[in-house]
Chain A
């Protein structure tokens, strides 16, 4: 079970983290305009 949990956390964690990073980048670009 721990292998499965590791994989799910890794996959959806990285994808979720990527979205948060991009939203932050978008905010920075909007602010600098």
Chain B
């Protein structure tokens, strides 16, 4: 049975598509909040919400891992894998859209500063997670190890978020937490929240779709 033949899934996809179109329209037509950066500064409205969504998806991997370890139900294993796959796609997008913005803004594609390095480490941990899934051997043992790895990998997320505080300010290229949001320009805050909501709706659709396919694979 096709995933999009269910009414609820079709509505979910319709909402995701509509919000994406509105989001793209806003990104192209919005006056840049930082005039010094020009229109490329609007990349911020797509890069940051994707990063937050990736962290949320990795949080999902951790939660599914905890549920899998406590009740050993295969559905939590599939959900965890689906969260990990979609989270890694989003993390890849974070690591590619960031440098495209950084080149005109900072003059370098990739300065080795704390937030970029810790984000790359998280991405590499999840590449290891997929290697474990693929080549780990006994499926039940692999699911158990993957759940533990997913839980441990999430420890890197608060490190990324607060990396701008943990290391010396001279080492930072990113702004401090909360510096993007000013009460003088609340529109930027609303738009970034809107973009974040649209990314959550797209990513949740992707996770549900992928979980559905993984369970179909199992039953076929």
What residues of chain A have their CB less than 8 Å away from a CB belonging to chain B? Answer: 1, 3-4, 6-8, 10-12, 14-15, 18-19, 22-23, 25-26, 29-30, 32-33
The answer to whether A3 touches B213 (Cβ under 8 A) is no
The answer to whether A26 touches B220 (Cβ under 8 A) is no
The answer to whether A19 touches B209 (Cβ under 8 A) is yes
Distance (whole angstroms) from the CB of B9 to the closest CB of chain A = 12
What residues of chain B have their CB less than 8 Å away from a CB belonging to chain A? Answer: 1-4, 20, 24, 27-28, 39-40, 42-43, 46-47, 50, 89, 92-93, 96-97, 100-101, 103-104, 202, 206, 209-210, 212-213, 216-217, 220
CA distance A5 to B132 in the complex (A): 36
Taking chain A's interface residues, is the majority helix, strand, or loop, or is none over half, making it mixed? helix
The answer to whether B209 touches A22 (Cβ under 8 A) is yes
Distance (whole angstroms) from the CB of A16 to the closest CB of chain B = 9
Distance (whole angstroms) from the CB of B26 to the closest CB of chain A = 11
* Between-chain CB contacts (< 8 Å), 22 pairs: A3-B43, A3-B103, A4-B27, A4-B28, A4-B39, A4-B42, A7-B46, A8-B28, A10-B100, A11-B50, A14-B92, A14-B93, A15-B89, A18-B89, A19-B209, A22-B213, A23-B4, A26-B3, A29-B216, A29-B220, A30-B2, A33-B220
Set B1, B46, B104: member contacting A11, Cβ < 8 A: B46
CA distance A26 to B1 in the complex (A): 9
Nearest opposing residue in chain A for B94, CB measure:
A11
The answer to whether B213 touches A11 (Cβ under 8 A) is no
CA distance A7 to B96 in the complex (A): 8
CA distance A15 to B20 in the complex (A): 11
Question: Chain A residues with Cβ under 8 A from B96's Cβ?
Answer: 10
The answer to whether A4 touches B209 (Cβ under 8 A) is no
A15-B202, A30-B2 are contacts. A7–B217 as well, Cβ < 8 Å? Answer: no
